[in-house]
Amino acid sequence: MTRSRHVGTERPRPDAADKLAGKAHYIHDIAVQGMLYGRIRFSDHAHARIARIDTSLAESVPGVRAVITGQTTPEIRFGLLRDNVALKKDRVRQFRDEVAAVAATSPEAAARAVELIEVEYEPLPAVFTPDEALAEGAALVHETDHAGRSRSSNLLPLSCRHLTGDIAAATAASRYIVEGTYTVPRIQQACMGTSGCLAEFSPEGNLTITAKTQIPFLAQRDFNRALEALGLTNRNSRVIVPAIGGAFGTGLDTHAYEFIAILLAWKTGRPVKIVYDRREEFSCLSPRQEARIRVCQGCDDRGRLTFRDVEVIQDNGAYTSWGATYPNVMLVTATSLYRVPAVRFDSRIVYTNNTYCQAMRGYGNPEVTWAIESNLDELAAAAGMDPIAMRLLNANEPGDLSPMGLKFDSCALRECLDAVATSLRTSSSPPAGQTRVRGTGMAGLINVGGGGKIYRSDGSGIILKLDDYGNVNVAYGGVEMGQGLHSALTIMVADALGVRPERVFINQTDTATCPWDVGTHASRGAFMAGNAAVLAATKLRERLFALAERVYADEVERNIARIGQSERIEAFDFRAARAADFDLRDGYLAPRQAPDEAWYRIELGRLLRAAHFAERDPAIFTEEAFYEPPTQLPDWERGYGNMSASYGFGAQGVEVEVDTETGEVRILRLVAVSDIGRVLNPATLKGQMYGGIAQGVGYALFEEVQTERGRILNPGFTDYKVASAADLDFPIELRFVETNDPHGPFGAKGAGELALAPTAPAIANAIYNAVGVRVRDLPITPEKVLRALSETSRR
């Protein structure tokens, strides 16, 4: 696909005007006739038996229409391992467990009633770290699995490992070896728009649910299972996606609050909306996993990597979401960032009585990149090598087949590393004051860029519908959540079909009208949507050109009648035009050999009307396509399989100033160079990069969900710091090495997640370069820097 007029150009996003006018409808803004407000009563214990629930006081609050508990409603089981239920019946396993819920005519009545529910608990012993949870005799978070089979350990039955080569032999043959353990905290996605849904039943028992989700079709499956649990067999759930106020992975699973809204709507026969307030969002929505990652790497006397050994232990919390499968994605970087001949990877995921965790942007990659890229810098130091030279020496190349079986059909990691190195070499002004020291550091990355197959289909459908006026309505099942999917899809449809972007309209995502899509995650949205769009547009063009064979001559005659004769007209025998002679460009059909000649040009709408109202074989034009990328569902026991059609690469470099008196780290500048294939829309791509870097800086320096024995201590923006504009007051240089990926639509690869993967290790490496201390525990707070400095000076 080389035809591109709008791909690569800077265009305003199609969803921007509504958002700027305050006209975009988020779940918070949607209300329907007769709607009730739902509210949930959460657990007061990390682990306890529920002895008694008394709802009588709550029921007497004016406006209350229903109070439900696990005892009074059918059990709705959900989650990746189906280890969670919507309302807990006899036991709570985390502070945020849902024990009861209320529906009322006003949010105030619902809030009052939920407080009046009386719950008596009998506390149970609890575990709050993977070490505690795996210790001999530890309390079991789940005594049975979803099917009632007894469990003997807190280890999850999810394995993900890899072995290539002989680690012992490679270790023995290495000249330098460095081992380190690197930790990452739980952090909150902190979407500006909190979570919520609106559930409504038809009298026949079909459900319509407006949900803040990234997986409308997998959610439909989950909600249909819930309907069956309610005894509503042969019924359907329709999932509609409203404007989304940020998602960052929070929409990758269905949630208890959604099933509770369904239960309340079913019970009351009225629409029920549940929207989390900010405190609930922080304390009752699953954050990113906490993990501890041990990395050991070795190299030979020239700095060539000899082996890499990675061991992950992940605190899952009390229940299991898709996010538990982070190790599946960690494998990509663990096995395949830089050329490594021998690799071992192992992971353990452990139940605890902490809040259960879920997906967040990057899905394991920021975690594992933090560990590996920190450790690589340590290895370079041990070998007395320039860390940039070591990375360049080991860089992946196009055509490589990695130990995991990943195929790099396009790869510009070397160019990215080089460009960052060049940028970092430019000197800046000397630091102000004696206690401030400057340093630079960098880190590289690999990220899936052509889907990420962790489900049996990684496909995506699309419908392109042409109307009588030459407009294109696009039905696509992926989700616009701020990342710019609709912007990318608009220009790709325009170019793939040959119309102006202004004529492309993207429908609201709705399982009733859009074809199946696995979900918007793994940086896959634009890649999948674009490939599907190209397939459908190709079919449409073929049909249009076949139609033109039939009606073109008459339409040209009409042009001539209107405009008048010309000598140039004989340059092309329009009466004998065949399908292969035509092109469609910017909404006009014309012969390829005379594309700009007014006599020969037929406006698309006119052509479509000619087909629609034809006496013989009238037709309208709608085409669908389903794109399934050429990838493999890896064998997780072996950690082998080409899970993505293409891979993004990049590197980031930072210059920091460390204040040795206060431990404060100030970023002076940051450079990010990325290979995400071809750039679709530079404006939205830059937005993804800047935003990802901002999240990376927060991950590196200050974000952390603080807990004490399972209770979240900082459930608000007052105590959980999200970077403000002033915190990010340093220049960010963005550059793109535009490889033309053979699998990507118009050569593009996915870009959504890669910006935050290398930010934290680049910063840690810069701190080491400045003051010679290594912090291996995120976030790198001033206290940790000071502690490391004092430990170094004591030595």
Binding residues for other proteins, per CB under 8 A? 12-13, 15-26, 28-29, 189-194, 243-248, 277-278, 481-484, 683-684, 686-687, 689-695, 716-718, 722-726, 728-729, 732
- Beta strands of 318-364 (E only): which ranges? 343-351
Closest distance of CB 639 from other proteins, Å: 33
Reference 80, options 152, 190, 157; nearest CA is 157
Question: Greatest CA span in the chain, whole angstroms?
Answer: 95
Closest distance of CB 486 from other proteins, Å: 11
Indicate the residue among 490 and 684 with the shorter CB distance to other proteins.
Answer: 684
- For residue 670 the two structure tokens come to 């940051």
Indicate the residue among 192 and 598 with the shorter CB distance to other proteins.
Answer: 192
Instruction: Determine phi and psi for 737, rounding to 5 degrees.
Output: -95, 105
For every residue of 91-149, DSSP letters joined together read EE-STT-EEEEEEESSHHHHHHHHHT-EEEEEE-----SHHHHHSTTPPPS-SB-TTS-
Reference 673, options 732, 737, 728; nearest CA is 737
Strands 91-92 and 48-54: antiparallel
Instruction: Determine phi and psi for 547, rounding to 5 degrees.
Output: -60, -45
Indicate the residue among 194 and 297 with the shorter CB distance to other proteins.
Answer: 194
Indicate the residue among 216 and 698 with the shorter CB distance to other proteins.
Answer: 698
Reference 730, options 385, 379, 428, 370; nearest CA is 428
- What is the spatial distance between Cα 333 and Cα 406, in angstroms, rounded to a whole number? 11
Indicate the residue among 244 and 763 with the shorter CB distance to other proteins.
Answer: 244
Indicate the residue among 66 and 481 with the shorter CB distance to other proteins.
Answer: 481
Reference 551, options 503, 612, 596, 499; nearest CA is 612
Residue 338 burial (CB count, 10 A): 24
Indicate the residue among 579 and 728 with the shorter CB distance to other proteins.
Answer: 728
Indicate the residue among 642 and 695 with the shorter CB distance to other proteins.
Answer: 695
Instruction: Determine phi and psi for 337, rounding to 5 degrees.
Output: -85, 115
Closest distance of CB 480 from other proteins, Å: 9
Closest distance of CB 27 from other proteins, Å: 11
**Residue 556 host element (H or E):** helix 525-563
- For residue 593 the two structure tokens come to 């050999």
708 burial (CB, 10 Å; 0-12 / 13-18 / 19+) is: exposed
Closest distance of CB 483 from other proteins, Å: 7
Closest distance of CB 297 from other proteins, Å: 31
- What is the spatial distance between Cα 218 and Cα 206, in angstroms, rounded to a whole number? 17
Closest distance of CB 673 from other proteins, Å: 16
455 in Cβ contact with 449 (< 8 Å): no
Indicate the residue among 51 and 192 with the shorter CB distance to other proteins.
Answer: 192
Closest distance of CB 336 from other proteins, Å: 28
Closest distance of CB 694 from other proteins, Å: 3
- What is the spatial distance between Cα 130 and Cα 188, in angstroms, rounded to a whole number? 20
Closest distance of CB 358 from other proteins, Å: 16
Strands 36-42 and 272-275: parallel
Reference 14, options 29, 26, 3, 24; nearest CA is 24
181 in Cβ contact with 173 (< 8 Å): no
- The alpha helices in 616-708, defined as continuous H runs, are 682-701
656 in Cβ contact with 417 (< 8 Å): no
- For residue 259 the two structure tokens come to 């099933």
Residue 473 burial (CB count, 10 A): 16
Indicate the residue among 242 and 639 with the shorter CB distance to other proteins.
Answer: 242
Indicate the residue among 118 and 727 with the shorter CB distance to other proteins.
Answer: 727
- What is the spatial distance between Cα 699 and Cα 714, in angstroms, rounded to a whole number? 16
Closest distance of CB 520 from other proteins, Å: 13
Indicate the residue among 70 and 245 with the shorter CB distance to other proteins.
Answer: 245
Closest distance of CB 490 from other proteins, Å: 14
Reference 338, options 294, 287, 303, 291; nearest CA is 303
Indicate the residue among 222 and 655 with the shorter CB distance to other proteins.
Answer: 655
Closest distance of CB 323 from other proteins, Å: 18
Residue with tokens 């290594």: 774
Indicate the residue among 55 and 286 with the shorter CB distance to other proteins.
Answer: 286
- What is the spatial distance between Cα 455 and Cα 457, in angstroms, rounded to a whole number? 5
Closest distance of CB 71 from other proteins, Å: 32
Indicate the residue among 689 and 764 with the shorter CB distance to other proteins.
Answer: 689
Indicate the residue among 576 and 726 with the shorter CB distance to other proteins.
Answer: 726
Closest distance of CB 381 from other proteins, Å: 31
Task: Spell out the residues 6+ positions from residue 223 whose beta carbon is closer than 8 angstroms to its own.
Answer: 207, 209, 237, 239, 254, 258, 262
Closest distance of CB 693 from other proteins, Å: 6
Residue with tokens 């292969």: 580
